[in-house]
Amino acid sequence: MTARVEPDDIYVALVAELARTAVPTGIMGITLVGVGLFIARTLQDPVLLAAAVIGGIASLGKLALITLQGYRPARGTGTRAEARVWDRAHLLVTVVVASCIGAVAGAAFLQPDVEMQMLATGLLFGYCSGVVTHLSVRPGMAIAALLLAALPAIVTAGWNGSMSHGILATMFGLFLLGAVQGVFTAHRNTARQIALRLDMAALAGRDALTGLANRLGLHDAFRDRHRSSGEAVAVHCFDLDGFKAVNDRYGHAVGDALLQEVGLRLRGLLGASALAARTGGDEFVVLQHAVHDAETAEVLAREIVQALGRPYAMAEETIRIGLSLGYACAPGISADLDALIGAADAASYVAKRRGGGIHAAGLPVACRSLAAGSPLP
């Protein structure tokens, strides 16, 4: 049976939740150091003293890690590879803290002093409840922490030999099983909530009829890719010549089917090289990535006109439409999407007045100078 691999976006979001554990991490670090130092001093045990100090240092390291991770999203979008680095770093410090708690709790139950055992019990239950609540987003990490923290106390309490300690060890074991079950339940619920949130965000940026991006999705794509990368961009704006006549003759159902077919052809044509958006009615915008010169934008413009100008078989007839397409381009760093759309849209009206086809906004030299970083006039 193979392990289930979480989708990249859900995995990244789950790992990001680890950055929200600063307060419980700080509280547990203080508690671990306080209880550990008290028990170590009472028993005059240098090993427990080292465990308390190492646990405190690891807790500070985890707080530093949380702080760094919290600032990271402001510098760029997360990827699975990046999230894996954070995941492993959290696992490392978590294992150290859990091991220190296990050492302190295990040592306490080897002693006859009930006061120390009470302190260890409080430390152990506080930590395990925090693990279930805050670390269940990464179930492997959470279960490792539970086992490392609780098993030493279970073993030493059972080793004590008295009936009451045997009952206590059994209780700890049952609580541990319940905690493991709680981890899986919490992880499943959190993953579902994140998946729903991501789906809703995706739907908010998508046109319901064609499945293409809408205005919101178009602006998000431009911001995420071109504002961060600075690569040159071209914007193509067009509407469908003759679409109103199709609606009037065949009805809106056929008109909607035609728009859907346009969306399918655009997705098949563009692939990962560009993003298509329906911005209203029969109006479309294509955001072209990695534009090197005027010819790159011109080639795509002609491919769009050719692909969408082919006949459509629907309503038991062959339907033909034309396109009036205008395009504009600029370096990604200096480009303003609304200004580019405005320029490309104005160029499309020029094409429409000429009877359809393609028209470039401004001078072609504006695209040829993209490598030098010159903005569109």
Residues 6+ apart with CB under 8 A from 134: 20, 21, 24
- 286 strand-pairing partners: 236, 276
Given 282, 293, 336, 338, the catalytic residue: 282
Check if 282 is active-site.
yes
Residue 253 CA: distances (Å) to CA of 241, 246, 263, 352: 18, 10, 15, 26
319 contacts 355 by C-beta, under 8 angstroms = no
The Cα 260–Cα 258 span in angstroms is 5
Strand residues in 242-290 grouped as ranges (E): 274-280, 283-288
The Cα 126–Cα 243 span in angstroms is 66
DSSP string, 188-252: HHHHHHHHHHHHHHHHHTB-TTT-SB-HHHHHHHIIIIIHHH---EEEEEEEEETHHHHHHHH-H
In the structure encoding, which two tokens stand for residue 276, read together?
């298509």
The catalytic residue positions are 282
